Structure formats: structure tokens, C-alpha cells
Amino acid sequence: MLAIERRNEILERLQREKRVVVSELSRQYSVSEETIRRDLEKLENDGYVIKSYGGAVLNEHINTDMPFNIRKNTNVIGKQRIAEIVNGMVSDGESLMLDSSSTAVFIAKVLKEEKRNLTIITNSIEIIIELFDAPNWRVISTGGLATEGSFALVGPQTDQMLRSYHVDKAIISCKGIDMEDGMTDSNELHARNKRTMLERAKQRILAVDSSKFGHTAFTQIGNLENLSTIITDEKPEEKWLQMFEQYQIECIWPTA
């Protein structure tokens, strides 16, 4: 196993369990404890973990996104539920903007099986690959700067391209949603591109799992009043539902 593969697996475990122990990882991967300590040191330097005596814990206050291949394996059931709800809201022939979130990839997979003649504009390399063989669809790449680990195209060129289109629906996700700070993300370039997507759509949809509620990340995408609809995997607390009603935001979650 390559070192990068081992570190990614350690990150996946940290996402699930929040902490790891050096001695346990050493036995699991049949490498020395010193090798595991170097892995954890690299993950700490990247901002993902905080080393502790004999192990490490997940850095819950990270302002850097986890690698995409880690994020797409987190809360899979919740993202699938969100994708099914989005599928029920999209009609054949519509035009959509999808961001580069892992949730958007799940949405694209479901739409590919269920819908016809969609136009998809996206800055997600993963979605472009996923939809490469979608029959009778138009899949348009935004272009932009390719960023390491995110499988995304971002930056001013991405914004310029997005502003040249008007679409039926923009579907984005975020790292945090807060009553005062609104929608936030860990990366300013990603946040700007998501904001532009919302500006170019008739219906502005936030697809976000329940773990993001009550959290604030590094930079703002927009205020809650910028949204038409919020789709999540569990019923939010009553205080959230009251706020959504105040802003006339439709909130949808699975009922079964």
C-alpha cells in the first residue's frame, strides 16, 4: 500500500471515529509506529488532524476541505436520500447548475438514471466524468483552475462562464449553515462560485446533510434569504423550521 493510500484510509477512520491510536494503526497496516507517526505528522501539517499522546484526533475546526475521495464516502445514506428528493423536483428538459460537492455527485448519479434531456453546467470534474455517457444530455464544463484534492474547477474564469447562463435550478452544498452567518464554506474560491450559481438560477436549492446545521466555516457563500429551497436528510429542529418559514424557504426532508 502506498503511503498516500494509507493516510487516506486513516482520514476515513478519523471521519468515522474522530480519533486513532498509533499502536492500533501500526498493527493494522503492518508498519512501524514511527511510520504511522510520520503519517499523522503529514496529516497534521495539512490541517486535518491534531496529534495527541499516542495518536491523533480529527481537527473539527478545519478550514480546509477533506480530500474529495474522503468526503464522498461520508454520510452516504444521507446524501442518497437528498439525491432522491432532488430527483423528484427536477423535470425532463431542465437546465441545472451543480457545484463540486460530494452531495452533487450523488444527485448527478440519480438524475442520470431517471431524467432525460437535461442540461448540466458544473465545475465538478467528478460529475463531468460521471455524465460523460449520459444520452441526450448537454454537459457543460465551466473551466477554471484545477485544485488539488477537490476534483473541482474554480476561480474568476469559472465565475465568468457561469454568469453567461441562466438556468432553472442551481443546486449547491456547503460546509456550514448558521442562523446568523448563513451558508459558509472552507474555501473562498469555491464559495464565490457557489454564490454565482445561486445568482444565475430561478430556483436556488441548498442540498445539505443535517451535520452541517449550526456550523460556520471560513467564508460566506450567502445569506439564508438567498435560497428558495433547502433539502436535507433529517427533519431540522423547530427553531430552524421557524426561520425557514420567516424567509419563505421551502424545507424538504425524507418522511420515511
Distances 170 to 99, 131, 140 between C-alpha atoms, Å: 8, 17, 14
pLDDT bracket for residue 46 (50, 70, 90):
confident
**How confident is the model over 120-149, as pLDDT tens digits?**
999 999 999 999 999 899 999 999 999 766
**How confident is the model over 27-39, as pLDDT tens digits?**
999 999 999 999 9
Residue (of 131, 129, 106) closest to 118 by Cα position: 131
**How confident is the model over 205-218, as pLDDT tens digits?**
999 999 899 989 88
Contact 97, 121 (CB under 8 A): yes
What local confidence, expressed as pLDDT, does residue 58 receive? 83
pLDDT bracket for residue 4 (50, 70, 90):
confident
**How confident is the model over 149-195, as pLDDT tens digits?**
678 999 999 999 999 999 999 999 999 999 999 999 988 999 999 99
Domains of the chain, first to last: 3-61 (1.10.10.10), 70-252 (3.40.50.1360)
Name the amino acid, one letter, at 83. Answer: A
What local confidence, expressed as pLDDT, does residue 164 receive? 97
Computed over every residue of the chain, the mean pLDDT equals 91
What local confidence, expressed as pLDDT, does residue 15 receive? 76
What local confidence, expressed as pLDDT, does residue 106 receive? 95
What local confidence, expressed as pLDDT, does residue 147 receive? 78
pLDDT bracket for residue 71 (50, 70, 90):
low
What local confidence, expressed as pLDDT, does residue 243 receive? 96
What local confidence, expressed as pLDDT, does residue 61 receive? 62
